[in-house]
Structure 1
Amino acid sequence: MGMRGRELRCRLLQNTTVIIGSVALIYSVCSPSWYQNKGLWYMPDVTNSSTSERTEFHHPLSRAVEAERVFGVIATMMAITAICIALLLICCWNPDTYIESKMNPGRILHPGKLLIVILVPTALLYFIAWSLFTNRHMEQMKNDITQFGSAYWMGMCAWFTLLVILPIIYLVEQCSHQEPDISI
């Protein structure tokens, strides 16, 4: 029971980490408190100095903001999917039932692999959005870091949880996992 108990604890910890990291990511993308109560969805006022007209999508800053939003939306949709899968694994996965791979007979499917395959790209996409936002506000960050809101810091925690902590938990689970003897 010792090895199996450790496996179950790792899987529960992994699924809980998925849910916490994904909820933090979703909150961060949807919240307006990134910088000075302006979130990812706030459109900066971009004016063209020669004509003094607002050019929304022709300015490089506008394209950067749009890229942040696209990466944020895709990461949010993937995070919602990961939460659903984690809840299914918590509620419905029977650890005593081992499922063989149809593509690679003899190999056992592990639910943690599915979460890693979904969440590492999710965290990378969100990290790109977060990095673009950080790069755009680098000067303000140097002057006063306290103007960044809870969503900005929650986003940092989200990508760190999904890119660093989740793979570590997965590796611990894989190290503690022992393949069952399947006789044919």
Structure 2
Amino acid sequence: MKFLELGDSISRFRLGQSCLGFAGCLFVCYAVCTPFWLKDRGLWTEWNTTRSDQTNRKDDLVFSAMEAERVFGVISFLMAVSTGALCLVFALCWTSETVRSYSNTRSLLMAGQALYPTTLLLLTMASTGFFFLLSWSFFTHQHLEEIRQDFSSLGSSYWLGALGWILLLVVEAIVFIAEQIIVPDILPDLEKAVESWRISSQFEAAKRSFSEGYYPASTKSILAPKRYTSVP
């Protein structure tokens, strides 16, 4: 197995996106699990949001926002764990020879290259960043007045979380677009590889059937059934 293959632009882009996604997933997991969002409190802290001038309806909206940010936080955490594992697989275990295996090539052609590493990373990373962005936005909107009053009270969880969804959503999209512009499309080469495999398999099948149906004359005489004549 060849680790950290950097021989061509495809491998370099794949490794770069994997490292980028793994860092973003780490930031998301850190932000969800730690309480250092605002004044050493986070998503799982019970905030005292009740004020004298608030109505019951507004209290219900605040409670709904707190529940929404926690739900999206849990979803983004689970997706970050799976996406981070996928990034490690593509960074350490995926090589240029893997994509040219017969089964994977057929899958790429049938799915229209949707299973290619960088495309799959884009889909998973964008989904993870989007769900965490929802959680981050709900938290920011809910505590907007406190943030305006004391901007320095924002902690490491808040800022690293923001960096996480920026890496997963914005930077990853820019890198993927750059890859599509710089790296040539591999589908024509894969189609040629599949065609050559098909021709070689047909040739091997024809050769095998010919060898099975051909016997030398001596072999035919041995295999032919013997006829016995009765002695008078």
TM-score category, normalised to shorter length = 0.7 to 0.9
RMSD, aligned CA: 2.4
Q: Cα 1:94–1:103, aligned 2, differ >3 Å: closer, same or farther?
A: closer
Which residue number corresponds to residue 100 of structure 1?
Answer: 105
The Cα shift of 1:104 comes to: 4.5
Which residue number corresponds to residue 34 of structure 1?
Answer: 37
Q: Cα 1:176–1:27, aligned 2, differ >3 Å: closer, same or farther?
A: same
Percent identity over the alignment is 33
SS in 1 for 2:97: coil
Write the distance in 1 (CA, Å) between the matches of 2:94 and 2:108. Answer: 20
Write the distance in 1 (CA, Å) between the matches of 2:29 and 2:46. Answer: 19
Q: Cα 1:4–1:80, aligned 2, differ >3 Å: closer, same or farther?
A: same
Which residue number corresponds to residue 172 of structure 2?
Answer: 166
Matched, 1:156 2:156: no
Q: State how 1:133-152 maps to structure 2 within 5 Å.
A: 133-152=139-158
Between Structure 1 and Structure 2, which shows a larger proportion of helix residues?
2
The Cα shift of 1:45 comes to: 2.9
Which residue number corresponds to residue 72 of structure 1?
Answer: 73
Amino acid at match of 1:37: D
TM-score (norm: length of structure 1): 0.85
Matched, 1:15 2:21: no
TM-score (norm: length of structure 2): 0.69
Structure 2 unaligned segments of length 5 or more: list them: 1-5, 196-232
Q: Cα 1:23–1:103, aligned 2, differ >3 Å: closer, same or farther?
A: closer
Structure 1 unaligned segments of length 5 or more: list them: 50-54
The Cα shift of 1:116 comes to: 1.2
